[in-house]
Structure 1
Amino acid sequence: MKFETILEEIDGFGRFQIAILILLCTSRMVLPCHFLLNNFIAAVPPHHCDISTLEKSSEELFRNLTREQKLTVSLPVREDGEPKSCEMFAEPQFQLLSNSSNRTDLPTVWCQSGWVYDNSTFISTLATEVQ
């Protein structure tokens, strides 16, 4: 007996077969979106240590500094000039305001009070929400 004759005997392509086909096709169309979703919610935007606790503890020293100067005295930089993501100086290094050369041998510690994220590309990601 051929498959076509069996289909004719059981009334062909009915409601059950159409429902199964729709369920299978719907899941196949949605699945790529789930794979792409991870590209957006799991992105880690550029970030650096939060230096707000340093500003509060040394308020009189940080009062007249610009944001860039505060970052200069608080965070070590990578070779490309961007602040390191997970390190900060053990103590503010005010001598770096006049001479930014010898930065590699200064004592550093891991971030003490979290991170500050650049939200220009992504407003909210898993990395920025779970600290």
Structure 2
Amino acid sequence: MNVPEGTPMDTTLSAVELARCLPPGKLRQEYLVLLELVGHGRFQHKVLFCAHLSLAMVLFHYWSVHVLTQPVDHWCKPPALFAHLTREQWLNVSIPVVEDGQGNRHHSRCTMYDLATIVFNGSRVEVPCDGWDYDLPDDTHTLISK
């Protein structure tokens, strides 16, 4: 395309001009047929904008879940009878220490010792938790703290 010097050039391509850039054959024909069916005006631009906007909203929602749900250490909640114990005392007396698959040892998150059997005969029978306590600093804002 020969354009005299100093003439401003429009760098946008129309859909038909874009079709000319495609290799000749079936692909170009299918593209031109699709253009006739759908069109390429302001309405299509608005639809495309709305599609991009909805995609951005979905991505924001997806990533916000990862940001807001930080892992938080937790263990079984003590019954009201043992609420006077400090966190360390409660963990040492009633929560079993388990080993994860990587060899790390930590307090169980799902079981505790049956307190009635510990007091009366000293055996340590594990039972499921009735509730949980969480290791949250005072200034932490996560889904669990809300």
- The equivalent residue for 1:98 is none
Q: Contact (CA 8 Å) 1:45, 1:122: kept in 2 or not?
A: no
Q: Distance in 1 between matches of 2:79 and 2:113?
A: 13
Residue 102 of structure 2 is aligned to residue 85 of structure 1: no
Identity of paired residues, percent? 29
- The equivalent residue for 2:52 is 25
Q: Distance in 2 between matches of 1:24 and 1:41?
A: 26
Q: 3-state DSSP class of the match of 1:124?
A: coil
Q: 3-state DSSP class of the match of 2:62?
A: helix
How many Å apart are 1:26 and its aligned residue?
1.3
AA partner of residue 48 (structure 1): W
Q: Distance in 2 between matches of 1:13 and 1:66?
A: 69
Q: 3-state DSSP class of the match of 1:78?
A: strand
The count of residues paired between Structure 1 and Structure 2 equals: 103
- The equivalent residue for 2:95 is 75
Residue 144 of structure 2 is aligned to residue 117 of structure 1: no
Q: Give the structure, 1 or 2, with the largest relative contact order (CA under 8 Å, sep 6 or more).
A: 1
Q: 3-state DSSP class of the match of 1:45?
A: coil
Question: Can you give the 5+ residue segments of structure 2 that lack an aligned partner in the other structure?
Answer: 1-14, 18-31, 33-38
Q: 3-state DSSP class of the match of 1:88?
A: strand
Deviations 1:21-74 (A, max 9, x none): 211221232332232233245555221000142415xxxxxx5x5431222111
Question: TM-score by structure 1 length?
Answer: 0.57
Q: Distance in 2 between matches of 1:66 and 1:21?
A: 59
Question: Can you give the 5+ residue segments of structure 1 that lack an aligned partner in the other structure?
Answer: 7-11, 57-62, 95-104
Please give the residue correspondences for 1:53-72 in structure 2 after superposition, counting only pairs within 5 Å.
Answer: 53-56=80-83, 66-72=86-92
RMSD: 3.5
